[in-house]
Chains A and B, each alone.
Chain A
Amino acid sequence: MEFFERFMVPHPSFLIYVSMVLIALTSIAIVVGITYFKKWGYLWSEWITTVDHKKIGIMYLLTALLMLFRGGVDAIMMRLQLAVPDNTFLDAQHYNEIFTTHGVVMILFMAMPFITFFFNFLVPLQIGARDVAFPRLNNLAFWLFFMGAMLFNLSFVVGGSPDAGWTSYFPLANNEFSTSVGTNYYMIAIQIAGIGTLMTGINFITTIMKMRAPGMTLFKMPMFTWSSLIANLIIVFAFPVLTVVLAMGTMDRLFGTQFFTIGNGGMDMLWANLFWVWGHPEVYILILPAFGIFSEIITTFSRRNLYGYNSMVWSMVIISVFSFTVWTHHFFTMGQGAMTNSIFSITTMLIAVPTGVKIFNWLFTLYKGKIEMTTPMLYTIHFIPLFTLGGVTGVMLAMSAADYQYHNTMFLVAHFHNVIIPGVVYAMLAGLTFYWPKLFGFMLNEKIGKATVWVMSTGFLLAFMPMYITGLDGQARRMSTYSEATGYSTLNMVSFIGAGIMAISFIMLVWNIWYSFKNSPRDIGSDPWNARGLEWATHTPIPAYNFAITPDVSESTSEAFWDMKKNGTKLFKGKIEKIHMPNYSGLPFIMSCAFFLLGFAMIFSMWIVAIIGFIVILGCMVYRSFEKDEGYYIPAEEVEAIEKQYEKRGAK
């Protein structure tokens, strides 16, 4: 009995039981469904073992959408709890757990896979490559990320969720104040996912540096590829810091080390510093690719090339360097003295300069362009003013003296949602709508799409603008309830309504997908938007090898496909030859399952199981080392036959 007790949720409530039942039923339904339709073999051989960057991208996309739902439910519950004063819908402990999981899920398991989806799907196409540099590693990176995400979500039903905030500050996160295994989940699940992310970083830097089509110099790379290169460089330099700090946190909790304790020399501020040395650059890992997506969309629908390409690139380079120099702005009030605060205040404000450069470049592009207001463009047009507002309040927060007023209030919550939702979420949804026809061969409905954007922005403004006011008025962040006398109740009710409207916009998005799947025409060719980048020069659906002939862009600009359409530049020279392809493999999946086992066992200090998991991981590595894997060739005749089929369908 004692053995099982530790797996129980320490603070159960009616809501948790209901969700447990729902989760159980859904899981059973999925398993039964797959078995009934005899799809296990298909799943295994076409998806789980795949090394095709496009399919791996789609798996990231599905995970991101799933997690958006989970994080969204958390958000609605928080807003519901705060909608009226003295509410008892959630107790304090449950509220702690929800804001913690909401933050972690949204940043690490929703936004990160969403941008990784774009890395995977777009980068090889934009640079004219057949795949990424290390296709096998790519599959492993996905599964490690996925197992980390699932492990984190498991905390909800087995053993208890983390409750120390997504920043997990010590001493709050130590065993004394965070008593359930929840924070163990936090440390270990993020660690496993983080290793996957690091692999992604290495993979994509190598891919972009080495696998660009002939003629594509660095300064001819499409803007999204540039943003990916920079973001992945930040990943490689920032994630190891996270690895170390999570390992230290894990050791403090499991092995009694004294890194972040109060006595015996431990230093809780070391956690805060190291966490944000990773955490701040992380924000740019998310936002730069988002900027890249917006740039692609703006040029396409202004029918004009990007204003200030070079300054766009250099501003990203500068942002990436600066992003490592501002981390203490997250804790101006935590005692490092006026000098340090002033320095970090200034470096923070400096970042606004290159960011401003980008905004102006977009505006100038639009100014001279022939704007076509499609759904992706509508997202972009909404993004510019909303994001700018978030940027301005960011500069307000960067004034360290003033920050004593708004630190850890709703003002801060309003600020970062104000940059992250119009910045990252809008970019991801705009990009998804834009690339949807390339992914799935039909367009999303424009009417529903545009309505979605308007509803989303309305909801967004209603949900977050009131927080600026209540925040300045002193409503603390992470406060589970407040009294009538504070006078916060009206604005919080508005916020709740706004959150509800945002939820409706996400339902509209899902409905749009369903509606368009049923009704949209399928004969749209492979370039329905009249777009500009090399990624649109592929067929739809994209064959496994992407390009039958590697494109040559020596006579083109960064928008090779546009040049071909406008000036008749020849992209595909030479003739079709046999194509080398990598083999699929189940090993990364098995290894990731072993990581899951290892992580789960460590969370509950079950050391024998942990050792077994570890041995399986090592076994996989040895197996991989001795494996002979040279890939295979698609013969030229077969490539030709495939290409002929596309011609017959009239696509291209």
Chain B
Amino acid sequence: MAHIDHSRPLEYSTEENRLKILGFWIFLGAEIMLFGTLFASYFTLVDRTGSGPIGAEIFEITPVLAETFLLLASSFTIGLAIHAMRLGSKKATLTFMGITLVLGLAFLGVEIYEFQHYVHIGAGLSVSAFTSILLTTLGTHGLHVTLGFFWGLAIIIQISKRGLNHVTANKAFIFSLYWHFLDVVWIFIFSFIYLKGMM
């Protein structure tokens, strides 16, 4: 079996684990470019509303605040989960990861409501360049959260079945990087799409 270096945290303890973590950081670099392109397109198209509504007309602060709160809280709990993992507590790790996913699910619930609302008030995907890019940017983030949810679920099942070992710890750690990243992206969405749009 792989050589395990016990002087390091479990998630870094094998050569393969370290490769995976670096690889994932590089992947996040690509993700930054992906969202960066979406943001650049958003800023280009934000005023090009054609005959459709403008942002200030459709944005509502309450659901957005709820989403922000849910996602920020989940970023905190995934941090706790990794902390618990470092301390070697399987139960606490699982609990905090579970809370993270529940919060993520709640976020998705609000977002689905929000999307339905947009379509309902005549700001659907194909109304104008503005609504197209708005829903695409939000949707891309939402899709990432959805994927993250199932990914996290798979990791929870593996940890509960197989325990915390160098494989599962590595997966959980990488998942936490991903989750934090989605949170950072959301902060940009919150500030530069919603707040700026409502001003």
The answer to whether B22 and A240 have CB atoms under 8 Å apart is: no
Q: Is A625 interfacial (CB 8 A cutoff)?
A: yes
Contact with A along B129-151 (1 / 0, CB 8 A): 11111001000000000000011
- Shortest C-beta distance, B185 to chain A (Å), equals 13
Question: Once bound together, how far apart are the Cα atoms of A630 and B15, in whole Å?
Answer: 13
Q: Which of A13-21, A255-263, A380-388, A487-495 contacts B (4 or more CB under 8 A)?
A: A255-263
- Shortest C-beta distance, B22 to chain A (Å), equals 5
Q: Is B91 interfacial (CB 8 A cutoff)?
A: no
Given contacts A209-B22, A626-B154, contact A264 B136 (CB under 8 A): no
Q: Is B18 interfacial (CB 8 A cutoff)?
A: yes
Considering the complex, give the chain B residue whose CB is closest to the CB of A260.
Answer: B129
Q: Which of B36-44, B59-67, B78-86, B188-196 contacts A (4 or more CB under 8 A)?
A: B36-44
Q: Which of A198-206, A410-418, A422-430 contacts B (4 or more CB under 8 A)?
A: A198-206
Q: Is B1 interfacial (CB 8 A cutoff)?
A: yes
A-B contact count (CB 8 A): 115
- Shortest C-beta distance, B27 to chain A (Å), equals 5
- Shortest C-beta distance, A195 to chain B (Å), equals 10
- 8 Å CB contact of A270 from B33, B41, B136: B41
- Shortest C-beta distance, A338 to chain B (Å), equals 21
Q: Which of A152-160, A244-252, A287-295 contacts B (4 or more CB under 8 A)?
A: A244-252
Inside 8 A of B154's CB, which chain A residues have their CB? 622, 625-626
The answer to whether A244 and B38 have CB atoms under 8 Å apart is: yes
The answer to whether A265 and B30 have CB atoms under 8 Å apart is: no
Q: Is B68 interfacial (CB 8 A cutoff)?
A: no
Q: Is A266 interfacial (CB 8 A cutoff)?
A: yes
Q: Is A237 interfacial (CB 8 A cutoff)?
A: yes
Inside 8 A of B2's CB, which chain A residues have their CB? 580, 630
Q: Is B158 interfacial (CB 8 A cutoff)?
A: yes
Inside 8 A of B129's CB, which chain A residues have their CB? 258-259, 261, 264-267
Contact with B along A580-601 (1 / 0, CB 8 A): 1000000000000000000000
The answer to whether A237 and B127 have CB atoms under 8 Å apart is: no
Q: Which of B46-54, B102-110, B112-120 contacts A (4 or more CB under 8 A)?
A: B46-54
- 8 Å CB contact of A134 from B23, B51, B158: B23
The answer to whether A237 and B30 have CB atoms under 8 Å apart is: yes
Considering the complex, give the chain A residue whose CB is closest to the CB of B162.
Answer: A628
The answer to whether A202 and B27 have CB atoms under 8 Å apart is: yes
Question: Once bound together, how far apart are the Cα atoms of A179 and B164, in whole Å?
Answer: 55
Inside 8 A of A267's CB, which chain B residues have their CB? 44-45, 48, 129
Given contacts A240-B33, A244-B37, contact A270 B44 (CB under 8 A): yes
Q: Is A346 interfacial (CB 8 A cutoff)?
A: no
- Shortest C-beta distance, A470 to chain B (Å), equals 37
Given contacts A206-B23, A240-B37, contact A265 B126 (CB under 8 A): no
The answer to whether A265 and B31 have CB atoms under 8 Å apart is: no
Q: Is A241 interfacial (CB 8 A cutoff)?
A: yes
The answer to whether A236 and B30 have CB atoms under 8 Å apart is: yes
The answer to whether A264 and B33 have CB atoms under 8 Å apart is: no
The answer to whether B29 and A255 have CB atoms under 8 Å apart is: no
Q: Is A109 interfacial (CB 8 A cutoff)?
A: no
Q: Is B56 interfacial (CB 8 A cutoff)?
A: no
- Shortest C-beta distance, B131 to chain A (Å), equals 8
Question: Once bound together, how far apart are the Cα atoms of A241 and B35, in whole Å?
Answer: 9
The answer to whether B19 and A210 have CB atoms under 8 Å apart is: yes
Q: Is A328 interfacial (CB 8 A cutoff)?
A: no
The answer to whether B45 and A265 have CB atoms under 8 Å apart is: yes
- Shortest C-beta distance, A425 to chain B (Å), equals 28
Q: Is B184 interfacial (CB 8 A cutoff)?
A: no
Question: Once bound together, how far apart are the Cα atoms of A580 and B48, in whole Å?
Answer: 57
The answer to whether A241 and B37 have CB atoms under 8 Å apart is: yes
Q: Is B177 interfacial (CB 8 A cutoff)?
A: no
Place the interface of chain A in its size category. 35 or more
The answer to whether A265 and B136 have CB atoms under 8 Å apart is: no
- 8 Å CB contact of B33 from A209, A241, A258, A618: A241
Q: Is A357 interfacial (CB 8 A cutoff)?
A: no
Q: Is A274 interfacial (CB 8 A cutoff)?
A: yes
The answer to whether A264 and B45 have CB atoms under 8 Å apart is: no
The answer to whether A257 and B38 have CB atoms under 8 Å apart is: no
Q: Is A239 interfacial (CB 8 A cutoff)?
A: yes
The answer to whether A265 and B19 have CB atoms under 8 Å apart is: no
Question: Once bound together, how far apart are the Cα atoms of A625 and B148, in whole Å?
Answer: 13
Q: Is A82 interfacial (CB 8 A cutoff)?
A: no
The residue in A255, A261, A264, A265 that gathers the most chain B C-beta atoms within 10 A of its C-beta is A265
Inside 8 A of B73's CB, which chain A residues have their CB? none
Inside 8 A of A419's CB, which chain B residues have their CB? none
Q: Is A133 interfacial (CB 8 A cutoff)?
A: yes
The answer to whether A134 and B19 have CB atoms under 8 Å apart is: yes
Q: Is A100 interfacial (CB 8 A cutoff)?
A: no
The answer to whether B34 and A264 have CB atoms under 8 Å apart is: no
Question: Once bound together, how far apart are the Cα atoms of A241 and B32, in whole Å?
Answer: 10
Considering the complex, give the chain B residue whose CB is closest to the CB of A247.
Answer: B136
Q: Is B176 interfacial (CB 8 A cutoff)?
A: no
The answer to whether A258 and B27 have CB atoms under 8 Å apart is: no
Q: Is B26 interfacial (CB 8 A cutoff)?
A: yes
- 8 Å CB contact of B136 from A133, A203, A205, A248: A248
The answer to whether B45 and A259 have CB atoms under 8 Å apart is: yes
Q: Is A243 interfacial (CB 8 A cutoff)?
A: yes
Question: Once bound together, how far apart are the Cα atoms of A265 and B45, in whole Å?
Answer: 7
Q: Is B92 interfacial (CB 8 A cutoff)?
A: no
The answer to whether A198 and B30 have CB atoms under 8 Å apart is: yes
- Shortest C-beta distance, B39 to chain A (Å), equals 10
- 8 Å CB contact of A133 from B23, B30, B31, B130: B23
The answer to whether A263 and B30 have CB atoms under 8 Å apart is: no
Inside 8 A of A258's CB, which chain B residues have their CB? 50, 126-129, 131-132
Inside 8 A of B157's CB, which chain A residues have their CB? 626
Question: Once bound together, how far apart are the Cα atoms of A183 and B27, in whole Å?
Answer: 29
Inside 8 A of A580's CB, which chain B residues have their CB? 2
The answer to whether B37 and A625 have CB atoms under 8 Å apart is: no
The answer to whether B1 and A265 have CB atoms under 8 Å apart is: no
The answer to whether A265 and B49 have CB atoms under 8 Å apart is: yes
Inside 8 A of A618's CB, which chain B residues have their CB? 150
Within A180-232, which residues are at the interface with B (CB < 8 Å)?
A: 198, 201-203, 205-206, 209-211
The answer to whether A265 and B18 have CB atoms under 8 Å apart is: no
Question: Once bound together, how far apart are the Cα atoms of A251 and B132, in whole Å?
Answer: 9
Q: Is B125 interfacial (CB 8 A cutoff)?
A: yes
Question: Once bound together, how far apart are the Cα atoms of A206 and B157, in whole Å?
Answer: 29
- Shortest C-beta distance, A311 to chain B (Å), equals 27
Listed A/B pairs (15) with beta-carbon separation below 8 Å: A198-B30, A201-B26, A202-B26, A209-B22, A241-B34, A244-B41, A245-B37, A247-B136, A248-B136, A255-B126, A264-B51, A265-B50, A267-B48, A580-B2, A625-B154
Binding site for B on A (CB under 8 A): 133-134, 198, 201-203, 205-206, 209-211, 236-241, 243-245, 247-248, 251, 255-259, 261, 263-267, 270, 274, 277, 580, 618, 622, 625-626, 630
18 additional contacts (CB under 8 A) given A237-B30, A251-B125, A626-B158: A133-B23, A134-B20, A201-B26, A202-B30, A206-B19, A206-B23, A206-B26, A210-B18, A241-B37, A248-B136, A256-B125, A258-B50, A259-B132, A261-B129, A264-B129, A265-B130, A622-B150, A625-B171
Q: Which 7 pairs, one residue from A and one from B, show the smallest C-beta to C-beta distance?
A: A265-B48, A264-B50, A265-B129, A265-B50, A257-B132, A240-B33, A240-B34
